[in-house]
Amino acid sequence: MDLSVTAEDEAFRAEVREWLAQNLRGEFEQLRGAGGSGREHEAIELRTEWEQALGAAGWIGLGLPQSVGGRGATLMQQVIFAEEYARADAPGRVNHMGEYLLAPTLVAFGSEELQRRFLPGVLKGEEMWCQGYSEPGAGSDLAGVRTKAVLKDGSWSIEGQKVWTSLAFHADWCFVIARTEPDSERHRGLSYLLVPMDQEGVDIRPIVQITGSSEFSEVFFDDARTEARYVVGEPGDGWRVAMGTLGFERGVATLAQQVGFQRELDQVIADARESGTVEDPQIAERLVQAWIELRVMRYQALRTLGTNEPAAASVSKLLWANWHRRLGELGIDVRGAAATVLPAEPYELTREQAVFLYTRADTIYAGSNEIQRNILAERVLGLPRG
Amino acid sequence: MEFTLNDEQRDLQQTLRGFVERHASGKVVRDAAERGEGFSAPVWVRLTGEMELTGLAIDPAHGGAGASFVEVGIALEELGRSLVPVPFLVTVTAAHALGGPDVDAERAAPLLERITGGCVATVSLGENSVRSTGARAGVTLNGQLDHVLDGPHAAFVIAAVEDDDGPALYGIDLAADGVVVEAQATMDQTRRQATIRLSDAPATLLTPAGDAGAAAVERAREILSVALACEAVGAAARCLEITVKYLGERVQFGRPIGSFQALKHRCADLFVALESARSTAAYASWVVDGAPQELPTVAPLSQLVCGEALLQIASESIQLHGGIGFTWEHDAHYFFKRAKSTELLSGGNRYLRRLVGQRAGII
Ligand SMILES: Cc1cc2nc3c(=O)[nH]c(=O)nc-3n(C[C@H](O)[C@H](O)[C@H](O)COP(=O)(O)OP(=O)(O)OC[C@H]3O[C@@H](n4cnc5c(N)ncnc54)[C@H](O)[C@@H]3O)c2cc1C
């Protein structure tokens, strides 16, 4: 165990820092701090242009192999890029579904033809993606998917409904889990389809969420079409592909996320000083505890970086989701009664109000707390199924 | 950047795991605890003799193996798994304190050589009533050291003493005239304590006056914290393993109790606490030699996080075992008593949290 950083890594860090300083200016300057969880609607057009600037400079798909157009960067370099990006307060990325979920899935399970068709769009920041997994009857229990797809006149015809689809209104494509074998049940007979969003058979209805804004939608498919060859893995093998997506390395993203968390915590500490609540021993203790836990999350991410075991992924998800939700509570507690009043009608939120409300989602999506505990208990600790 | 254990470190871990399972767990621990000594001399002789474990991180010039604290941390964790009743933790803490940058190397040398020779050393780093008199060369100490861990079996103690010109570390031979070692009965039967009374007891001053002395005392305390953190991880890991195994075997209502989701989720939370502690202890033991500037915050942080994890796991372990967990006969109480005693001896978790907060500049 040696945690020191090499000279090459330092040079890479300098390169990233320099590029961000040179490029996050002019019209992009206003993007600092924009976007991210709960604020995905902010400046979305300009953030998409920024994504393309990143793509042109080769900063998208850092960890993907060079053979498919990625940069083949080491884990450490990916961490450095993500940390510097967060440190520069560069905007929330608009295509994380494409870069972190779809692209590695294509590399692991997609044919060369699909990789050639779809990876460049992600790597150049030109095609945005959304994730079509959840349905009204299939949330935690994804195998309950009922959206159907059948081959008709040489293309897939899709019928059904997805829900909670983040950034659907902004996406060009959706990766959809659909039932392609009639009468199949549970995790059998599913396929992983790539479906264009801009077509008559796709109807997107935004859902207003707890924050008053909408970043997710219901998506209705009524004879929506996609080409027969736009299926990742074999038809019927969609469950394995979808589960593979869940198993990808997440340590890099976790470490980057922590830079943003540190900034949020620093702000809460500053707020507590300003409001005087830092003098309250209980508030002081919660602030210190939050600081400690964030350090622990960093040590955890460093120790498990590069592993893709279910233990590491579930531990990390439980740690950060609970931490962030508690920070949301602490953030408004240090403000006291002042935190009950909004800055403006109809429902504009201060930063701490947004974090307080938005973080209720952190423990629900991407595998709820309860599902993560089931995974740890059954798959990691080996406790008997009930 | 390398995050995983290397081959040699893994070998050390495996060797110790095997040794502890075969020779230093179960009956050995129980016998030592019940005999009222909390010390297994045969295990100690093998660990310090053929395995040369206490010399692990001591400079080869003094007969050690010159490893880093990461290796010491691995050993502490493995011995912690069975709460092996040997004074390893205090001895390596003394050794690492003696090897510190602010310690007089010439005066420390004979003490380090006694450790590589198999002697038990301990530390006493809390506040005490001890005062020094006399010139630096022929100095003597008066007063009392309380709660000296493994004091009853130690040959010498490294003690923090508040001198007129600031904190200092002294080496005190416990066989010397003017030293009385009184063994205490302790709630934690696997780690005994002594009260040590000094009346004109001869001692070796190990640190220079002023800031350097204070720094040496602080560093010794930090090493003790990290050592306790590593040991707690081993104990917590084994305690959770025992508990999970039991939940898979014990049948009530016609099914293993481990299939009830209420219990599963509690075990999952304990596992998260354990993994967090493991990462924290690993990081802290790297910091000791790899990034000493971080030690003042990371050390108390590691003791807090790992100590809380052990206490949480040990107390849940009793509950999840039901009646059997409440018995003298079951091992669960050893972990529980160790966890709480360690917390109390360190000033309590709230104290540690405040310390971290102050050092991190938050409060
Ligand atoms: C902000 C946000 C963004 C999202 N974005 C997307 C997206 O882009 N694409 C997408 O496909 N989905 C998305 N989701 C959906 C998300 O994945 C689901 O909400 C999640 O899987 C939970 O499903 P559910 O909402 O149906 O709740 P349910 O599955 O109905 O769960 C309700 C409660 O029951 C608990 N529960 C369920 N099963 C068990 C069990 N076996 N044991 C114990 N407790 C259990 C849950 O933990 C939860 O507390 C998003 C959700 C949110 C909140």
Q: Is residue B331 part of a domain?
A: yes
A90-132 tens-digit pLDDT:
999 999 999 999 999 999 999 999 999 999 999 999 999 999 9
Query: Which chain B positions have a beta carbon within 8 Å of A302's beta carbon?
Result: 3, 279, 283
Distance between CA atoms of residues A240 and A258, nearest Å = 30
| Partners of residue A76 in chain B, C-beta under 8 Å | 1
Q: Which domain holds residue B204?
A: 121-208
pLDDT tens figures, A285-342: 999 999 999 999 999 999 998 777 789 999 999 999 999 999 999 999 999 999 999 9
B159 and B236 part of one domain: no
Of the partner residues A284, A372, A378, the one whose CB lies closest to the CB of residue B357: A284
Task: Answer with the one of B74, B98, B116 that is the final residue of a domain.
Answer: B116
Same domain? B228 vs B183? no
CA distance B131 to B144: 9
Q: Which of B264, B268, B280 lies nearest to residue A296, judging by beta carbons?
A: B280
- Residue B13 located in a structural domain: yes
- Interface contact B3-A295, CB threshold 8 A: no
Which of B154, B177, B208 terminates a domain? The answer is B208
Cα torsion B254, B256, B259, B262: sign: positive
Distance from CA of B125 to the nearest CA of A (A): 24
Interface contacts (A, B; CB < 8 Å) = 143
At A53, is the pLDDT very low, low, confident or very high (cuts 50, 70, 90)? very high
Nearest CB neighbour to A76, from listed B1, B268, B360: B1
Instruction: Please report the atom of ligand 1 found closest to the CA of residue A358.
Output: 1
**CATH number of the domain encompassing residue B176:** 2.40.110.10
For chain A, give the longest Cα–Cα distance.
71
Would you tell me how many other CB atoms lie within 10 Å of the CB of residue B255? 11
Residue B292 belongs to domain with CATH number: 1.20.140.10
B336 Cα–ligand 1 center, Å: 37
Looking at the fold, whether B236 and B353 belong to one and the same domain comes out as: yes
Q: Which amino acid is at B141?
A: L
H or E element in which residue B83 lies: none
pLDDT of residue A1: 53
Phi (first) and psi of residue B87, to 5 degrees? -85, 45
Task: Grade residue A36 by pLDDT with cuts at 50, 70 and 90.
Answer: confident
A367 Cα nearest atom in ligand 1: 21
Are B194 and B223 contained in the same domain?
no
Q: Are the C-beta atoms of residues A161 and A138 closer than 8 Å to each other?
A: no
Three-state SS string across chain A, please? CECCCCHHHHHHHHHHHHHHHHHCCHHHHHHCCCCCCCCCCCCHHHHHHHHHHHHHCCCCCCCCCHHHCCCCCCHHHHHHHHHHHHHCCCCCCCCHHHHHHHHHHHHHHCCHHHHHHHHHHHHCCCCCEEEECCECCECCCHHHCCCEEEEECCEEEEEEEEEEEECHHHCCEEEEEEECCCCCCCCCCEEEEEEECCCCCEEEEEECCCCCCCCEEEEEEEEEEEECCCEECCCCEHHHHHHHHHCCCCHHHHHHHHHHHHHHHHHHHHHHHHHCHHHCHHHHHHHHHHHHHHHHHHHHHHHHCCCCCHHHHHHHHHHHHHHHHHHHHHHHHCCHHHHHCCCECCCECCHHHHHHHHCCCCCCCCCCHHHHHHHHHHHHCCCCCC
Q: Is there a domain that residue A157 lies in?
A: yes
Instruction: Quote the DSSP letter at residue B60.
Output: G
Select from B158, B125, B126, B163 the least CA-distant residue to B142. B163
Same domain, B12 and B92: yes
Q: Pocket around ligand 1: residues whose beta carbon is below 6 Å from it?
A: A 130-134, 139-140, 164-166, 216, 361, 364-365, 368, 370-371, 374
The one-letter amino acid code at A362 reads: D
Can you give the pLDDT of all 363 residues of chain B as single tens digits?
A: 566 889 999 999 999 999 999 999 999 999 999 986 889 999 999 999 999 999 999 999 999 999 999 999 999 999 999 999 999 999 999 999 999 999 999 999 999 999 999 999 999 999 999 999 987 668 999 999 999 999 999 999 999 999 988 999 999 999 999 999 999 999 999 999 999 999 999 999 999 999 999 999 999 999 999 999 999 999 999 999 999 999 999 999 999 999 999 999 999 999 999 999 999 999 999 999 999 999 999 999 999 999 999 999 999 999 999 999 999 999 999 999 999 999 999 999 999 999 999 999 999
Residue A52's CATH number: 1.10.540.10
- Measured torsion, CA atoms of residues A170, A171, A177, A183, in degrees rounded to the nearest 10: 80
Do A231 and A288 lie in a common domain?
Answer: no
Question: Looking at ligand 1, which residue's alpha carbon is closest to its atom 17?
Answer: A365
Terminal C-alpha separation, chain A: 39
Distance, in Å, from the CA atom of B218 to the CA atom of B239, rounded to the nearest integer, reads: 31
Domain match, A70 and A143 both: no
Residues B274 and B288 in one domain: yes
* Confidence (pLDDT) at B3: 66
Both B225 and B343 in one domain: the answer is yes
CB contact under 8 A, A386 and B248: no
Which residue, of A204, A237, A270, is where some domain finishes?
Answer: A237
Task: Report the mean per-residue pLDDT for chain A.
Answer: 94
Q: Hey, are the CB atoms on B264 and A76 less than 8 Å from each other?
A: no
Looking at residue A137, which CATH number applies to its domain? 2.40.110.10
Q: Which of A127, A249, A264, A352 is catalytic?
A: A249
Please check whether residue B1 lies inside any domain of the structure: no
Q: How many domains does chain A have?
A: 3
Q: What CATH number is associated with residue B52?
A: 1.10.540.10
| The pairing of beta strand A190-196 with beta strand A231-232 | antiparallel
Are A370 and A268 in a shared domain? yes
Map B136-205 to HEC letters.
CCCCEEEEEEEEEECHHHCCEEEEEEEECCEEEEEEEECCCCCEEEEEECCCCCCCCEEEEEEEEEECEE
- State which residues form the domain around A259: 250-380
Cβ contact, residue pair A376, B268, below 8 Å: yes
Neighboring chain A residues of B255 at a CB cutoff of 8 Å:
384, 386
Q: Is B130 part of the contact surface with chain A (CB cutoff 8 Å)?
A: no
Amino acid at B126: G
Q: How far is B120 from chain A (nearest CA, A)?
A: 29
Closest atom of ligand 1 relative to the A162 alpha carbon = 11
A367 CA to middle of ligand 1, Å? 7
The confidence score (pLDDT) of residue A253 equals: 85
Q: Which residue from B minimizes the CA distance to A5?
A: B1
- CA B319 – ligand 1 centroid, Å: 31
| β-bridge pairing A173-179 and A190-196 | antiparallel
Q: Are A180 and A152 in contact (CB under 8 A)?
A: no
Q: Are strands A129-132 and A173-179 parallel, antiparallel or unpaired?
A: parallel
Report residue B311: phi and psi, to 5°: -65, -40
Query: Cα distance from A307 to chain B (closest Cα, Å)?
Result: 10
- Residue B172's DSSP bridge partners are B157
Give the pair of three-digit tokens for residue B35: 């005999």
pLDDT tens, position by position, A138-151: 999 999 999 999 99
- From CA A371, how far away is CA A318, in angstroms rounded? 10
- Position A121 in a domain: no
Q: Do B1 and A3 touch (CB under 8 A)?
A: yes
Q: Count the neighbouring beta carbons within 10 Å of the beta carbon of residue B56.
A: 23
User: Residues A195-233: pLDDT tens digits?
Assistant: 999 999 999 999 999 999 999 999 999 999 999 999 999
pTM, rounded to two decimals: 0.96
Distance from the Cα of residue B231 to its chain's centroid = 6
- Asked whether the beta carbons of B222 and B299 are under 8 A apart, the reply is yes
Residue B2 lies in a domain: no
For a mutational test of ligand 1's pocket, the pick from A40, A41, A131, A164, i.e. the residue with the most ligand atoms closer than 8 A to its C-beta, is: A164
B304 vs A357: CA distance, rounded Å: 30
Give domain status of residue A17, yes or no.
yes
- Verify that A164 and A89 share a domain, yes or no: no
Q: Are residues B318 and B336 in the same domain?
A: yes
Buried b (16+ CB within 10 A) or exposed e, A68-101: bbbbebbbbbbbbbbbbbbbbebbbbbbebbbbb
- In this structure, is residue A152 part of a structural domain? yes
User: Quick one: what percent of chain A has pLDDT higher than 90?
Assistant: 87
Instruction: Locate B258 and state its tokens.
Output: 């481990």
Question: Is residue A124 domain-resident?
Answer: no
The total domain count for chain B is 3
3-state secondary structure of B121: strand
**pLDDT at A2 exceeding the cut of 70:** no
* Rounded-to-5 percentages of helix, strand, coil across chain B: 55, 15, 30
CA-angle at A228, arms to A226 and A233, nearest 5°: 105
B2: DSSP letter: B
Q: What pLDDT, on the 0 to 100 scale, is given for residue A3?
A: 67
In a domain, B137, yes or no: yes
Tokens of B242: 């025992």
- Report the 10 Å Cβ neighbour count for B348: 12
Assess whether A231 and A262 both reside in one domain: no
Told to judge if A249 belongs to the known catalytic residues of this protein, a careful annotator would answer: yes
